[in-house]
Amino acid sequence: MRQRKLKVWSEEDYFNWVRRETPLKEKYFAMYSTVWDAIVTNPNLMTIPFDDHMVHRGDGVFDNSLVVNGKVYLLDEHLDRIIRSATAIGIKIPLDKESMRQIILETIAVTGKRDCMARFWISRGTGGFSVYPDESPIGHFYLIITSSPSYPARYYEEGLNVVTSPFPLRQPFTPQVKSCNYLSNAMMEFFAHNVGADTAIAIDSEGNITEGSNKNVAVVTKDGFFKYPPLEKVLHGTMLKRAIYFAKILKDEGILKDVVSANIPISEAYNSAEMMFFSTTLVVAPIVKYDGVTIGDGKPGPIYKKIREMFKKDMTENDEVLTPVDYD
Ligand SMILES: Cc1ncc(COP(=O)(O)O)c(C=O)c1O
């Protein structure tokens, strides 16, 4: 008989592996899946079926919400966006919005964590290994509660050094579908890190800046306009939208001249007074160098600092955008 080199595990072998200690429990706290309709807290059990089309074809959508001091920030916006994303590509969503909200709040409560991140997906569903969506009768909802994202303090205190990505952010249908197909986004980061930059910005075919791999971008012009790329070209970022709201307050206070959506050619970005990124994980961070060009005076600018303070207050004090978790 041929000598086999590979082990063939018994169920007991497998469950011994599942029961092993893992350092992942320091950062992955709980997972819910509609496959089980239950929550698990051992990271070794946090799995999804291989034949879910989200695994082998990237056929799924996702979103994330930040939990700050026991309250979920902008949960409604993130749920609305994942539903819009899934609906746009014809995924049969297995739960209604209210059920997803309750599952998210309950799973966070199980972890007992007051500062963490809820990351959730709606997949095409299980049913085979082909590309055909009709193999999957219904989608699945997966949720994992992880530690809060953390970036180096220098991002916020000194600012980021970014480059233009040579990879177009090709989205299959519309940039508004937050799909699991993030290969271009990953390649942007690969490129940026290879050239010694912190991250990259994509451009459209006319050379206007669009967005980062997982963040929106905006500029403040030298004559005091807060400018962001047209929203039909980029993901409708929850944090960018919130920043637009804050920028309008700064306009009312006479600190900004206006808040406008317009194409931003790279040359205009180079000449701006301030550039900044927005995302759920990063919140807001200043860009001080773009393609080797110093932005403004090369330091985090006054509008960034004001918007950062407005975010801090919003995320901790504004009950209109915070959903409390019931930990009892
Ligand atoms: C491509 C892209 N643009 C922008 C964003 C920022 O969106 P949000 O502010 O909702 O996190 C993300 C977030 O994941 C993203 O993936």
Same domain, 181 and 130: no
Same domain, 139 and 191: no
* Mean pLDDT (the chain, rounded): 96
Q: Are 68 and 325 in contact (CB under 8 A)?
A: no
Taking residues 222-241, report their average pLDDT. Answer: 95
Q: How far apart are CA 36 and CA 77, in angstroms?
A: 26
Same domain, 173 and 303: yes
The answer to whether 289 is a known catalytic residue is no
Per-residue pLDDT at 170: 64
Q: How confident is the model at residue 174 (pLDDT cuts 50, 70, 90)?
A: confident
Same domain, 176 and 312: yes
Same domain, 249 and 125: no
Taking residues 128-142, report their average pLDDT. Answer: 97
Nearest CA to ligand 1 atom 5: 215
Of 146, 179, 212, which residue sits at a domain end? 146
Which listed residue (71, 178, 215, 227) is catalytic? 178
- pLDDT tens for each residue of 63-100: 999 999 999 999 999 999 999 999 999 999 999 999 99
- The answer to the question of residue 249 being in a domain is yes
Same domain, 253 and 136: no
Taking residues 93-112, report their average pLDDT. Answer: 98
Same domain, 108 and 24: yes
Of 115, 146, 177, which residue sits at a domain end? 146
Q: Are 226 and 260 in contact (CB under 8 A)?
A: yes
Taking residues 239-262, report their average pLDDT. Answer: 98
**Spacing, Cα 211 to ligand 1 middle (Å):** 9
Count: domains in the chain: 2
Pocket of ligand 1 (CB under 6 A): 185, 211, 214-216, 235, 237-240, 278-280
Ligand 1 atom closest to Cα of residue 280 = 11
Per-residue pLDDT at 4: 82
Beta carbons within 10 angstroms of residue 24's beta carbon: 13
Same domain, 235 and 263: yes
Same domain, 176 and 305: yes
- pLDDT tens for each residue of 141-173: 999 999 999 999 999 999 999 999 998 776 656
Probe target for ligand 1 pocket from 216, 234, 311, with the most ligand atoms within 8 Å of CB: 216
Instruction: Determine what percent of the chain is predicted with pLDDT higher than 90.
Output: 94
Same domain, 292 and 159: yes
Nearest CA to ligand 1 atom 7: 237
Beta carbons within 10 angstroms of residue 192's beta carbon: 22
**Does the pLDDT value for residue 1 go beyond 70?**
no
| Domain of residue 64, residue span | 11-146
Query: At 82, which CATH number?
Result: 3.30.470.10
**Does the pLDDT value for residue 206 go beyond 70?**
yes
Q: How confident is the model at residue 185 (pLDDT cuts 50, 70, 90)?
A: very high
Q: How far apart are CA 320 and CA 73, in angstroms?
A: 10
Q: Are 287 and 275 in contact (CB under 8 A)?
A: yes
Of 118, 146, 174, which residue sits at a domain end? 146
Q: How confident is the model at residue 3 (pLDDT cuts 50, 70, 90)?
A: confident
